[in-house]
Structure 1
């Protein structure tokens, strides 16, 4: 919204001086960005993450996080979106093998689509295939280092393996991008206490 207001203000200023400057001002450079151009997916995500980092109201932060998930879920491909929907339906019915079949196709067809890897990591986690889940989490974070869903999965796997320090680091990475995530806040407090107690 702020960028839109800035764009409109700039446009009004240009219009007010147009008559005066008409004969003396050279035509605008073609290299200048068009302030009215729609934002790319990456730009929308950057804006949302900036809002998420600043927000100190838990409920409002949750709404921003939900909008981030909406952006992550958009693959830009109708076929990929369809397979993602089918995979979700299979997960809800606990048909994990079928879900993996769909997700294998997703990551093959759209290897740069982070959410495909994250969804497959989740299925592997639900099947207790932690090694495969970790591999997919690593790929997700390579594509989207701010993916707090993948970081949550990483933290949970580290906790289950008794790797408290690594779990703590994963939760701290979540809080760096999503400071108001209650579950991560509580986990950091608990793990910090545990690690302090272990050190005594």
Structure 2
């Protein structure tokens, strides 16, 4: 599905054929990708990295994802999702982690050029670091360069298929480009991984109503 969409998404974005989806989709928002950093990291602005075996990290992630998908309590979901995001943010490199923090600050300041410069270095230094690609996808999305954003989302999901932020971003772009059925499927997948994603719930409701011919 991703590869097919990528064949013509750049042309669609360049031609600015994005449909009007109403007030809720007027402007891209960085929160759609769930990509802003957690509260200010420790140790003088650097993310604190714990030495941990990759197998143990994957096992911990598997357990956390299971807890998240089965959690009914919103407070539990919030706690578990933050634990997952902390793992996402750990590249295993102090240098890359610091670049990510600085890129996050640049995104918050809407300095997209600086953010892209920093993230270009991140994905070169750590091409296996999913959050680097996701963060760069976010910046491309904020610039409404949907073709480049989709390319980076595909890389993110190849490395971490359960990244609900990247899935939500993909679904939002699919919707903005007019692929409602694909968008609905992707939003549902994101919600399976992270129940309680408000943007996904709202979008699913709107897309289901539209599919049934009801006013949104």
TM-score by length of 2: 0.71
- Give the alignment partner of residue 57 of structure 1, picking from 73, 85, 110: 73
- Give the alignment partner of residue 185 of structure 2, picking from 148, 169, 184: 169
1:187 Cα deviation from its structure 2 partner: 1.6
Q: Equivalents in 2 of 1:107, 1:39: separation in Å?
A: 22
- Give the alignment partner of residue 119 of structure 2, picking from 103, 115, 127: 103
Tell me the SS of whatever aligns to 2:114.
helix
The yes-or-no answer on 1:76 pairing with 2:92 is yes
**1:110-167: per-residue Cα shift (whole Å, max 9, x none)?**
0000000000000000011100000000000000000000011111111111211111
- Between the two proteins, the alignment pairs up a number of residues equal to 162
Decide which structure has the larger Cα Rg and report it.
1
- Tell me the equivalent position of 1:153: 169
- Tell me the equivalent position of 2:198: 182
Q: 1:38 to 1:84 in 2, by over 3 A?
A: closer
Tell me the SS of whatever aligns to 1:40.
helix
The yes-or-no answer on 1:92 pairing with 2:108 is yes
Q: 1:91 to 1:71 in 2, by over 3 A?
A: same
Q: Is the 8 Å Cα contact of residues 55 and 180 (structure 1) preserved in structure 2? A: no
Q: Equivalents in 1 of 2:96, 2:119: separation in Å?
A: 9
Greater displacement, 63-72 / 129-138: 63-72
TM-score by length of 1: 0.77
Tell me the SS of whatever aligns to 1:145.
coil
- Give the alignment partner of residue 112 of structure 1, picking from 116, 124, 128: 128
Q: Is the 8 Å Cα contact of residues 75 and 81 (structure 1) preserved in structure 2? A: yes
The yes-or-no answer on 1:197 pairing with 2:208 is no
Tell me the SS of whatever aligns to 2:213.
helix
Q: 1:87 to 1:182 in 2, by over 3 A?
A: same
- Tell me the equivalent position of 1:33: none
Q: Equivalents in 2 of 1:121, 1:51: separation in Å?
A: 27
- Tell me the equivalent position of 2:137: 121
- Tell me the equivalent position of 1:40: 56
1:183 Cα deviation from its structure 2 partner: 2.4
Q: Is the 8 Å Cα contact of residues 114 and 143 (structure 1) preserved in structure 2? A: yes
**Structure holding more helix per residue:** 1
Q: Is the 8 Å Cα contact of residues 58 and 181 (structure 1) preserved in structure 2? A: no
Which structure 1 residue ranges, 4+ long, deviate > 4 Å from structure 2?
none
For structure 1, the residue ranges without an aligned partner over 5 or more in a row are: 1-36
1:76 Cα deviation from its structure 2 partner: 0.7
Report which structure shows greater RCO (CA 8 Å, sep ≥6).
2
